[in-house]
Amino acid sequence: MTIRTRKFIGTFAMFFWLVFYALVVMAVGGQYVVGHGILIELPFYILAGLAWLPVAMIIIRWMSKPDPA
């Protein structure tokens, strides 16, 4: 698979991952976190704001692999 194809697929994978992640975090946050005070909300928002990065890094690493020779 060429790098161009991987980037095309990876772009859609990243988009769908972020949409799915945002919807899940909104549902969890709205159900269990909102209204419980700053000591619960702040760590949740920090963790939720960073938790999508490992999957995004995996997708980006896969997308940027060089073409096979």
DSSP string, 5-53: HHHHHHHHHHHHHHHHHHHHHHHHIIIIITTS-HHHHHHHHHHHHHTTH
Q: How confident is the model at residue 53 (pLDDT cuts 50, 70, 90)?
A: very high
Query: pLDDT tens digits, residue range 18-31?
Result: 999 999 999 999 99
For residues 40-48, give the mean pLDDT: 96
Query: Where are the chain's structural domains?
Result: 3-63
What's the token pair of residue 57?
Answer: 């890094």
